[in-house]
Structure 1
Amino acid sequence: MNIWLKLRKTAAITLCELLAIATIFTGCASADLSGTEGAGHAAGAVVAGEDSSGALGSKDNADGPQEDLVNNNSYVSIDAIPAYDGKAYVAVNNNEPFFTDSDMTTTAFENYSDLDSLGRCGVAYANICRDIMPTEERGKIGMIKPSGWHTVKYDVIKDRYLYNRCHLIGYQLAGENANPKNLITGTRYLNVEGMLPFENLVADYVNNTGNHVLYRVTPMFSGSNLVANGVLIEAKSVEDNGGGILFNVYCYNVQPGVGINYENGDSWLDGTTPQKQSAQTDTPQNEGSQSSAGSGAGESGSSGSTTGSASSGSDSSAAENSAADSSNSETMVHITATGKKYHRAGCRTLKKSDTEVTLDEAKSMGLSPCGICNPPQ
């Protein structure tokens, strides 16, 4: 059966999400990484979580598969990833994940690698199912400062924040909130354009079928860089042997219009001179802000296109819960008569007597987005 028909029949995804996924099936272009800037690919790339002896940190859950979680590094080299060419992600290994037959289990598990000596996240691996999906809204994560973290804003970015605290395994999939082993410094582009469509695809499939999906995310770093070049995401549905969910994609940790120093997280507006960014220390009242102790944002470029100093305010990593719909007046969401939130269709927290309204209407009522089903914002 055509893969699009299979996805459409087994996963309740929107047409917009379906079109967003389409580009992964074009296959990988041949890699030519010479002189690449922005994606930061370089020889000697490593997967965080593996020390010089090749040993992996302990896992949080010992009930799941215990194979070496960094084995992705032997399957695909960062040198084999095509240079970023304007698309948020690219298919790897003909879109086939690297799971083996022994991985195919319906036992729920979550494994998160220990941070390495540089404080970087390693592989996150879980069997996504209803048993581990969240039953409450996500809490604050502003106290977590992933490796390479900076607080910096540019006018060329929607919501202005360059970096989000990106969950490796999205909150809607496993309910992991302020887990430092599951949060990396990622651009808004990586978060929303790269990772979110795949998270939504898996969440919708599990919610609608009750099946299990093996889901593994590998942050890939060059050398001792503190900011990942990108993440490798593998997923395969178990009960139907990949008939519902099957993909293997690399999502680029880039931001169009902004240059990034992957060694330390400094950034600059394209066409301006890179400047070292000064530090900003969080204060208790700014717990929910993106200010970073010891590595906050300072001046970044010029021409009035950036905020010249670190800014407090709301945690912009909430952007991971936004599908960036083009028109709030056309986007439909669901509400209940007495609820204070608006939801995606089919959200488990909705009552039977829900009503469909536009996103603008929901906002005009003072309703806020549900933290479980992650509706458009």
Structure 2
Amino acid sequence: MYKLKRILKVSAVVLIAFLGVFLEANPEILSQIGLDSVVEIFQENKYETPDSSYYFEVDKNPPQFTEEDLKMQDDFQEFSPLDNLNRVGQANALIGPDSLPKKPRGDISKIYPTGWHQKMYDFVEGRAIYNRCHLIAYSLTGENDNWLNLMTGTRSFNSLGMEPFERIVRNYIYDTGKKVRYRVTPIFLGDELLARGVIMEAYSIEDNGRSIKFRVLVKNIEKGVEIDYKTGRTRKAK
């Protein structure tokens, strides 16, 4: 059944891509052969949470927002102050079309979050083990070189862990013009300077979570690399 579902998902993506090109060139065909209903069926779960992977685990529990958290209001972003070890804390936001950035992202290379000990590995995408990772993505709020919103994360934590869920939220807002309640909580153990991961939560307010509703643990790890979370130093795994 699992393999069948994956095959159907891939087939749907291929079909939608083909139909998009075909219909762009032949818009009058749409009404003649009823392809609008076919596309609608395949796009029904467009914002479905991806399956768990090596880099993230989807929680069976829903996001832990209160009724107060989910009240409709103006967009906002709130960041916790750095703690006594200069570590970032929980970030909260209500994200809608007004929050999306209006200009390209600027330079963030002057920010050095805790646990930042950069090292290069040939088998890591882009070679650099660490990225400066936004708790709340720049593509969602336009928050850029904000010390309260940047943590040290592995390349795969960023690209394979957080980005799939950020993309879901961003696409939903772009497509619908509606709002998403959003929260990211970094997880530090004891006095470790590098977070073990983050908990990402999101909920689409206007439709009571029918489109977007997830709570996911994203793990700050990299295949083939041993990480000392106390300091952020790394070495190639044996």
Conserved in 2, the CA contact under 8 Å of 1:6 and 1:244?
Answer: no
Alignment of 1:1-377 (within 5 A): 8-9=43-44, 11=46, 21-24=49-52, 87-92=54-59, 94-107=60-73, 108-271=75-238
**Residues matched between the structures, number:** 199
TM-score norm. by structure 2 comes to 0.80
Distance 1:7 1:128 in 2: 26
TM-fit CA distance, 1:95:
4.1
Deviation per CA, 1:68-118, whole angstroms, max 9, x where unpaired? xxxxxxxxxxxxxxxxxx6111122x1410011221123211110000010
Q: Provide the rounded CA distance (Å) in 1 between the counterparts of 2:141 and 2:85.
A: 25
**Whole-Å separation in 2 of the counterparts to 1:192 and 1:175:** 18
Q: Deviations over 1:257-299 (max 9, x none)?
A: 000000001100001xxxxxxxxxxxxxxxxxxxxxxxxxxxx
How far 1:190 moved relative to its partner? 0.5
Task: Answer 1 or 2: which has greater helix percent.
Answer: 2
Please give the secondary structure, in 1, of the residue aligned with 2:151. Answer: strand
Check the 8 A contact 1:95/1:249 in 2, yes or no. no
Q: Deviations over 1:18-64 (max 9, x none)?
A: 6xx4314xxxxxxxxxxxxxxxxxxxxxxxxxxxxxxxxxxxxxxxx
User: Where does structure 2 lack aligned partners over 5 or more consecutive residues?
Assistant: 1-8, 10-39
Measure how far apart 1:7 and its partner are: 10
* Percent identity over paired residues: 43
SS in 1 for 2:98: coil
Q: Which has the higher contact order (CA 8 A, sep 6+)?
A: 2
Pair 7,208 (structure 1): closer, same or farther in 2 beyond 3 Å: farther
In structure 2, C-alpha distance between the alignment counterparts of 1:210 and 1:224, rounded to whole Å: 41
The letter for the 2-side match of 1:246 is K
- Which digits, 9 at most, give the CA deviation of each residue in 1:329-373, with x for residues without a partner? xxxxxxxxxxxxxxxxxxxxxxxxxxxxxxxxxxxxxxxxxxxxx
Cα offset for 1:6? Answer: 9.6
Deviation beyond 4 Å, 4+ runs, structure 1: 4-7
Instruction: Work out the CA distance in 1 between the residues paired with 2:107 and 2:142.
Output: 13
Between the aligned partners of 2:232 and 2:133, the Cα distance in structure 1 is 14
Counterparts of 1:144 and 1:6, CA distance in 2: 45
Which amino acid letter does the alignment assign opposite residue 228 of structure 1?
A
User: What displacement does 1:132 show?
Assistant: 1.2
Which amino acid in 2 is paired with 1:101? E
Partner Cα separation in structure 2 for residue 228 and residue 136 of structure 1: 30
Contact map agreement 1:7 1:245 (CA 8 A) in 2 = no
Q: 1:241/1:115 Cα in 2 relative to 1: closer, same or farther (>3 Å)? A: same
Q: Distance in 1 between matches of 2:41 and 2:93?
A: 23
Rounded to whole Å, the distance in 2 between the matches of 1:201 and 1:163 is: 23
